[in-house]
């Protein structure tokens, strides 16, 4: 087993760590996602615990401690929460397979477990387990499980189990669908019904309180010599199962298979569940077509790190989740937990554009474009949202559902974190430039550009006496400064958006007004040139971190009141530094260093979005030790329980950016016209290599401490610059550049 | 009927106006309060409508439109709302009395009503009705109702009805207790049981979801010649009733009486309901003892306005509700709706100290002292609240329950509106000075002074580079500026509180630190001297009121988003002007005028607390027309539907202040050592007269346009100053002062 490709749960099994592994082991076809829960489940971990979740800052929110938390998600399928608004619903689980030996059920916490190995093969996206257990009667039983969400058939989920007992035994198998689940403690089921549709098939119809509907069907099969299995069907109102018992001889292996298929009211075309479940294709063939797709994905995306297997594996875990989570549907985006948990309610934030999009744009741009197309499709929602706040034009919601409607239940973010509307335009421009299709902006995205510009012109104030316009009452990326004036990040992004919009303006008056506003929106600076996060920053209180932040294993916000955060110089996350990461050429190294020195001591990194930005900026400043520390911090966020509530997918998207844009030193298409690289490898790495799709041309970059090579995998010449050297690389050829640092 | 003492509902009856009259006609003994609902109720106005109220700005909140909203409140009895926190519970109603003539029920909307007159006699606090209706069978029926919450026996509520039919008829009477009620749409009942405890008595046991409990018993009696009535008892699980039918001859009058008695788990001693209901005292005797108490109250409080019967009656309505609402229990205060509605959830705000207290301190100081004693008793809650926010000492909650625990569900008020903690100290000092008992501060209130000072010292920041301390992240009285720096009102009140605390300090170090901080907390001023509401005010946006605020019959907040309010120069209510009202001698007339001219155009008066302050300041500035307009606006707030959700009692407290401190020109004991008056009468008033209790001495002031007389009703000489003239008035004597304006 290649440890750079395998994520392995340590032995012995520890139920206290299960939720973290459920997050990490989430599998998905894009269409359908399931957390890495145990097939036979764990007793004492009920999934129908009801509680009322209240609007709160998710970063500081405490979720009820459960040993296991199932998650079955079909993006686009929502429930209506009475307090939180619309949220992605946790759907009935179809994972259940429980083996019984002479009536004794496999149960990891109480059975006499000899071996329990569980591993996710990142290369194939297959989750497998090996369990050996001794029964009360003294037999030794080996059980293996494999499962995958078919990348080739996104509505299909495939499972296989083998059971071998060293003594003759009655082996029973129960395989079910369980709808008695909750979404963050809430039951969204409006109507549930089960039906046995064939001897070896059952089906669940699940209607939600939004009117959304899901159908889940499962087919079971026992590979035995004894012909047809006599399946018993049991319908318990909120759950159903098919079960069978076989008399096995000592050492005999039984093969069990379960396939589940899902369709929903969000599907453009309902999937034919019968057809999917009656496929003649066997398990191995299904697996092979699935693996083919994953192999192709990795070819276009894998980032290779030689000399650091831990970083290598963890980065691959990041890319696995990025690829797994992408819904492959331009009516959807990726939520902050990557459909691996319900904490962020399956809604879409600014992370889409600023943290996730680059990975897709430079590895599989059609999928990047789907994410930006999603925002174009959500324009009507943004129009309604602007109107709700009393403005013309379009204002994108802070927490968007698939319709583009605002679902954020906390007013401080919803009302004041307006930068998302500019971030959307940045994402559209990035998609256009990365694919060398500027027409995307004046064609597909023109209405978004115009409508958001109209919103900004109404939202921007002109204070008496000021010769410049101002954006007031704004929360920037740093969410610990809730209502500020002229946040630098927001103003720069809005100026960018207005500038882009000018190309799509209908009429000179609007165009000129947008350009003039873009040119005059201020970036506040201190007398010594320091870029101010907002006008007020230096009027905030100093905070005694040493006295107030005793337990550094928990966020600062867990140890002080929100009221103190809101009046103090403390940052939840990078703000000015993110601006400088996005617009690197607008700030000198000295200015970036000044901002680094000033803001870093105030930055709590309470948000997972923060460390990665710091890693990239540290690399620009040549602060290799700090860059390494922030890289490791960002990379490992989801390990050791970090993924309990799902994957921090924005950080994972940023981890690709650290690796490729930071260590690899790739300039984005927002920053350079030709492929431009300035690799900066950590000493402990021997080689960093990655594919990149630059404006339609495939290339492959390899960097060592001595040389950088760029292979042009396209069929036309590729202009490239590495450090100060610029070359034209013929089609299909590979060019080595002297390493700038070495020369 | 004296129209200056009678509040009369206009004829014909209009169910659309009923809720407003239910608020205005609220009766109460202090212990027990009931809204002015109809005895026979209105069909099509169910009281068990369930809905989920969510945290929101109450000023802008829309309440469901119901024709009638019952309210039965015992201060100190709470329910637990899942979203809103603890709230005063609406208790079972005992008002119900319905007459039937030959099976036809009195029903104001569908019966053929010939006369319907309802009036509240403010002098006696008795609500009475006369109804004449024609039955389907052609009879004419006269019904009268009278009712009062006994001021002499606060646990007792007394009702009487007479019925006369001009033809022989079967007259039936149903009298009930109905527990199927909601509090703002929520059912707080945990257990309800009914019992018939005697032939003519029933009892309801009502337990709430907090564990609080209430017992309500009712006794009925029919004064007929025919001996014992045969009462039928009917228990409908959430309601019960006693009913009887009598055959009456034409013109015969039947007399019916109902008495209800209430006791609760909050009572120091449970009231003996049996004893209360088996009193031998008849209706007239109960009424007489009740009226005696109200007569005494009015003697000490009535403000007489000659020449303006409308103002006279409406001001008396204000005083009626102030006196009615006072719970007479130092474990309680008065909520913003004066126990006449559940909109503000029966909790206690800063209104207690700044708006209500003066009326009591200068008319019935023992009752004023109860209100400030309440805050002393709530100190433990304030300590816990400080700890919750991470501070030492005591921080009073924005919305306090009887335990002093914070129940505010909106973080912007709860976290940032800290001035209440200083307002509490201002109230304590006011009570001490008004009763000439400064020992109150160093004795009873010492711990409050010290503990709140400790809190302030931790809450106050010292910004790098500033030579002075700052209070940051503060919402002042103006709730449209949520998180500001050095709010002038708050800083001045905190400085006052620290200064008061210094007299109670234990140790020189603390004392000196408190004094030094009090001396240096800044009041920000513009270059031209304008007192700035907060440092940021001039950095807020201008707002185009003409364009955005089209419907002036509704508040500004109903027509723009909160986000705009929070970044714009718009005041919900007086802020700097309130500071200037409280500390008049610290600001010159020019400074006050400057602040008036600057802030008034930005002030929306969306809060009922605003117009009254403007009336007082206008009087100081000699702006008589504006003073009159603001007085009328504040005075009439609760008329014409304004009282639907209860009485705006803070405004009513301020109306007394406008009359006595404004028009009467009385300086408070915070502002003057001796009784000091500068009356400023509107032209249309012939005379303004009022009693005042000045540091234990009763006086009676009468002002006309030509002369001001002060009668010393105490048994020792009274120092008094009217305008520039100072006199020593012998005990029992009356002195006439030339009117300053006239001379």
Could you say which residues from 537 to 556 on chain B have a Cβ atom under 8 Å away from some Cβ of chain A?
A: 539-542, 548
Q: What is the Cα–Cα distance from A510 to B355, expressed in whole angstroms?
A: 51
pLDDT digits (tens, 9 = 90+) for A471-499: 999 999 999 999 999 999 999 999 999 99
Contact B463/A539, CB-based, under 8 Å?
A: yes
Contacts with B483 from chain A: Cβ below 8 Å:
482-483, 566-567
Q: How far apart are the C-alpha atoms of B312 and B303, rounded to whole Å?
A: 8
Q: What is the pLDDT of residue A54?
A: 86
The answer to whether the Cβ–Cβ distance between A463 and B54 falls below 8 Å is: no
Question: Is the peptide bond between A152 and the residue preceding it cis, with omega within 30 degrees of 0?
Answer: no
CB contact under 8 A, A563 and B82: no
Closest-CA residue of chain B to A55 = B83
Closest CA to B31 of B222, B276, B281, B365: B276
Distance from CA of A463 to the nearest CA of B (A): 5
Q: Are residues B417 and B549 located together in one domain of the fold?
A: yes
- Chain B, 354 to 393: residues with Cβ < 8 Å from chain A are 388-390
Question: What is the DSSP-derived secondary structure letter of residue B658?
Answer: I
Chain B positions touching A389 (Cβ under 8 A) are: 561, 563-564
| DSSP, res B586 | G
pLDDT tens track for B686-739: 999 999 999 999 999 999 999 999 999 999 999 999 999 999 999 999 999 976
Q: Is residue A614 part of a domain?
A: yes
- ipTM given for this complex: 0.93
Best mutation target, B541, B569, B602, to test chain A (most A CBs within 10 A): B541
Angle, helices A365-377/A419-434, rounded to nearest 10 degrees: 140
Query: Mean pLDDT across chain B, nearest whole number?
Result: 96
- Tokens at A154, concatenated: 């996104």
B461 and A542 within 8 Å at the Cβ level: the answer is yes
- Given A299, A316, A344, the domain boundary residue is A299
Interface test with B, best of A51, A474, A541 (most B CBs within 10 A): A541
Q: At A735, is the secondary structure helix, strand, or coil?
A: strand
Task: State residue B224's pLDDT score.
Answer: 62
List, in order, residues 6 or more apart from A269 with CB less than 8 Å away: none
| pTM for the structure as a whole | 0.95
CA distance B417 to chain A (A): 10
Of B279, B299, B319, the position where a domain reaches its end is B299
When pLDDT is cut at 50, 70 and 90, the band that residue B54 belongs to is confident
Asked if residue A55 is part of any domain, the answer here is no
Mean pLDDT of B182-195: 97
Mean pLDDT of B360-371: 98
**Together in a domain, A336 and A426:** yes
A201 occurs within a structural domain: yes
Q: Residue B350: left if φ>0, alpha if ψ -120 to 50, beta else—which one?
A: alpha
Asked if omega into B452 is within 30° of 0 (cis), the reply is: no
Residue A740: the pLDDT is 54
What was the pLDDT predicted at A741? Answer: 46
Q: Which residues in chain B touch residue A416, judged by CB atoms under 8 angstroms apart?
A: 563, 566
**Tokens representing A288?**
């092979």
Pairing of the two strands A687-694 and A304-306 = antiparallel
* CB–CB contact A541 B461 (8 Å): yes
Size of interface A-B (CB pairs under 8 A): 88
Cβ atoms within 10 Å of A352's Cβ, excluding its own: 26
Token representation of residue B435: 């009763």
Q: What is the CATH number of the domain that holds A528?
A: 1.50.10.10
Instruction: Say which residues have a Cβ less than 8 Å from residue B682's Cβ, sequence separation at least 6.
Output: B308, B624, B627, B628, B663
From CA A5, how far away is CA A297, in angstroms rounded? 14
Is residue B428 domain-shared with residue B550, that is, in the same domain? yes
What pLDDT, on the 0 to 100 scale, is given for residue B739? 67
Q: Cα–chain-centroid distance for residue A562? A: 27
Task: State the total domains in chain B.
Answer: 3
Q: Domain for residue A37, yes or no?
A: no
Q: Flag if B482 and A483 touch (Cβ within 8 Å).
A: yes
pLDDT tens, position by position, B599-620: 999 999 999 999 999 999 999 9
The residue range of the domain holding B385 is 350-620
Cα angle, residue A70 at apex, residues A67 and A76 outer, rounded to 5°: 150
Note whether A234 and A357 are same-domain residues.
Answer: no
Residues A363 and A229 in one domain: no
Are both B239 and B368 inside the same structural domain?
Answer: no
CA angle A432, A433, A435 (to 5 degrees): 70
In a domain, B38, yes or no: no
**Nearest 10 degrees: Cα torsion A57, A58, A60, A64:** 130
Asked whether residue A345 falls in the same domain as residue A431, the answer is yes
Alpha helices in B405-461 (DSSP H): 411-416, 419-434, 439-442, 446-459
Distance (Å) from the alpha carbon of B115 to chain A's nearest alpha carbon: 47
Range 412-431 of B in CB contact (< 8 A) with A: 415-416
Which chain A residues are within 8 Å of B567, Cβ to Cβ? 461, 472-473, 483
DSSP assignment of A46-87 equals: -S----------GGGPPPP--S----EE-TT-EEEETTTEEE
A54 assigned to some structural domain = no
Phi (first) and psi of residue B653, to 5 degrees? -65, -40
pLDDT at B182: 97
Q: Which of A483, A559, A565 has the highest number of chain B CBs within 10 A, making it the mutation to test binding with B? A: A483
Residue in A with minimal Cα distance to B535: A539
B185 and B284 belong to one structural domain = yes
Per-residue pLDDT band for B743 (boundaries 50, 70, 90) equals very low
Residues in chain A with CB shorter than 8 Å from the CB of B415 are 561-563, 566
Name which of B82, B410, B473 to mutate to probe chain A: the one with the most chain A Cβ atoms within 10 A of its Cβ.
B473
Kindly report the backbone phi and psi dihedral angles of residue A448, in degrees, each rounded to the nearest multiple of 5, phi listed first. Answer: -60, -45
Tokens of B662: 């404004």
Smallest CA–CA separation between B734 and chain A, in Å?
56
Q: Which residue has the tokens 């290779």?
A: A304
Which of B687-709 are b and which e, b meaning 16 or more Cβ less than 10 Å from the residue's Cβ?
ebbbbbbbbebbbbbbbbbeebb
Residue from A673, A670, A665 nearest A708 by CA: A665
Q: Which residues of B412-428 are buried (b: 16+ CB within 10 A; e: fewer)?
A: bbbbbbbbbbbbbbbbb
With CB atoms and an 8 Å threshold, state whether B473 touches A566: yes
Judging contacts by C-beta atoms under 8 Å, the chain A residues touching residue B540 are 463, 472
Three-class DSSP labels, B146-171:
EEEECCCCCCEEEEEEEEEECCCEEE
Amino acid B57: pLDDT: 77
Please indicate, yes or no, whether residues A582 and A504 belong to a single structural domain of this protein: yes
Determine contact, residues A235/A142, Cβ cutoff 8 Å.
Answer: no
Co-location of A270 and A410 in the same domain: no
Confidence at residue B226, expressed as pLDDT on a 0 to 100 scale:
57
Would you say B67 and B42 are in contact if contact means Cβ atoms under 8 Å apart? yes
Q: In chain A, which among 642-681 make CB contacts under 8 A with chain B?
A: none
Identify whether A682 is part of a domain.
no
Tens-digit pLDDT profile for residues B86-137: 999 999 999 999 999 999 999 999 999 999 999 999 999 999 999 999 999 9
* Residue among B410, B421, B471, B539 with most chain A CBs within 10 A, to mutate: B539
Q: Which residues of chain A have pLDDT under 50?
A: 741-743
The nearest alpha carbon in chain A to B470 belongs to: A541
Which of B578, B593, B620 finishes a domain?
Answer: B620
Let me know whether B90 and B171 are in one domain.
yes
Q: Where do runs of H (alpha helix) occur along A589-648?
A: 589-599, 610-620, 624-635
In a domain, A533, yes or no: yes
* Distance (Å, whole) CA A668 – CA A633: 24
Q: In this structure, are A112 and A229 located in the same domain? A: yes
């Amino acid at each position: 087993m290649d440890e750079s490709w395998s994520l392995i749960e340590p032995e012995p099994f520890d139920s206290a760590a299960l939720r973290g592994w459920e997050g990490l082991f989430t599998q998905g076809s894009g269409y359908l996602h399931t957390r890495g829960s145990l097939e036979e489940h764990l007793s004492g971990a009920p999934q129908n615990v009801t509680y009322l979740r209240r609007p709160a800052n998710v970063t500081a929110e405490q979720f009820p401690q459960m040993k296991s938390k199932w998650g079955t998600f079909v993006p686009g399928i929502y429930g209506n929460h009475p307090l939180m608004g619309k949220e992605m619903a946790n759907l009935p689980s179809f994972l259940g397979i429980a083996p019984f030996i002479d009536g004794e059920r496999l149960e990891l916490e109480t059975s006499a477990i000899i071996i329990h190995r569980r591993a996710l093969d990142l290369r194939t996206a297959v989750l497998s387990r090996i369990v050996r257990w001794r029964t009360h009667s003294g037999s030794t039983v080996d059980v293996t499980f494999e499962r995958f969400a078919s990348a080739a058939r996104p509505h299909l989920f495939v499972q296989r189990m083998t059971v071998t007992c060293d003594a003759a035994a009655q082996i029973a198998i129960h395989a079910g669908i369980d709808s008695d689940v909750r979404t963050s403690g809430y039951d969204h089921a409006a109507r549930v019904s089960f039906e046995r549709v064939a001897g070896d098939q059952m089906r669940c119809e699940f209607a939600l309180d939004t009117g959304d509907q899901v159908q889940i069907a499962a087919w079971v099969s026992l590979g035995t010599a004894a012909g047809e299995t006599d399946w018993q069907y049991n319908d318990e109102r909120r759950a159903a199962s098919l079960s069978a018992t076989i008399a096995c001889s000592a050492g005999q292996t039984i093969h069990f298979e379960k396939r589940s298929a899902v369709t929903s009211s969000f599907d453009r075309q309902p999937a034919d569940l019968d057809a999917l479940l009656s496929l003649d294709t066997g398990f191995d063939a299904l697996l092979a077509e699935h693996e083919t797709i994953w192999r192709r994905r990795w070819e276009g995306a894998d980032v290779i790190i030689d000399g650091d297997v831990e970083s290598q594996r963890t980065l691959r875990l990041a890319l696995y989740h990025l690829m797994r989570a992408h819904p492959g549907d331009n009516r959807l985006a990726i939520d902050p937990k990557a459909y691996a948990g319900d904490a962020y309610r399956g809604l879409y934030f600014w992370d889409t554009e600023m943290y996730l999009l680059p990975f897709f744009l430079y590895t599989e741009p059609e999928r990047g474009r789907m994410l930006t197309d999603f925002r174009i499709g959500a324009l009507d929602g943004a129009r309604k949202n602007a109107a709700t706040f009393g403005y013309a034009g379009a204002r994108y919601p802070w927490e968007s559902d698939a319709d583009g409607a605002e679902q954020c239940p906390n007013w401080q973010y919803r009302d004041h974190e307006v930068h998302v509307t500019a971030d959307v335009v940045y994402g559209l421009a990035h998609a256009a430039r990365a694919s060398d299709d500027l027409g995307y902006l004046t064609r597909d995205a023109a209405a978004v550009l115009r409508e958001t510009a109209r919103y900004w012109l109404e939202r921007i104030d002109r204070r008496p006496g000021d010769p410049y316009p101002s954006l007031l009452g704004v929360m920037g990326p740093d969410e610990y400064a809730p209502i500020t004036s002229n946040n630098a990040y927001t103003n720069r992004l809005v100026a960018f958006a207005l500038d882009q919009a000018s190309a799509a303006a209908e009429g000179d008056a609007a165009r000129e007004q947008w350009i003039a506003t873009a040119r005059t929106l201020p970036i506040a600076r201190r007398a010594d040139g320091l870029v101010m996060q907002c006008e007020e920053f230096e009027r905030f209180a100093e905070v005694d971190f040493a006295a107030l932040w005793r337990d550094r294993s928990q966020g600062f916000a867990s140890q002080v009141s929100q009221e103190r955060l809101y009046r103090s110089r403390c940052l939840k996350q990078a703000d000015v530094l993110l601006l400088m990461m996005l617009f690197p050429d607008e700030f000198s190294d000295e200015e970036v260093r000044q901002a680094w020195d000033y803001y870093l001591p105030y930055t709590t990194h309470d948000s997972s979005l923060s460390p990665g930005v710091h890693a990239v900026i540290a690399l620009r400043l040549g602060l290799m030790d700090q860059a390494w520390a922030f890289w490791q911090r960002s990379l490992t966020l989801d390990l050791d329980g970090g993924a309990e509530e799902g994957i921090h997918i924005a950080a994972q998207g940023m981890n690709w950016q650290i690796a490729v844009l930071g260590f690899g030193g790739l300039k984005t298409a927002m920053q350079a016209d030709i492929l431009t690289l300035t690799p900066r490898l950590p000493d402990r790495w021997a080689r960093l290599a990655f594919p990149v799709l630059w404006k339609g041309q495939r290339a492959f970059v390899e960097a060592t401490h001595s040389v950088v090579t760029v292979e042009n995998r396209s069929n036309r010449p590729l202009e490239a610059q590495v450090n100060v050297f610029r070359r034209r690389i013929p089609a299909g050829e590979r060019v080595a550049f002297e390493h700038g640092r070495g020369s």
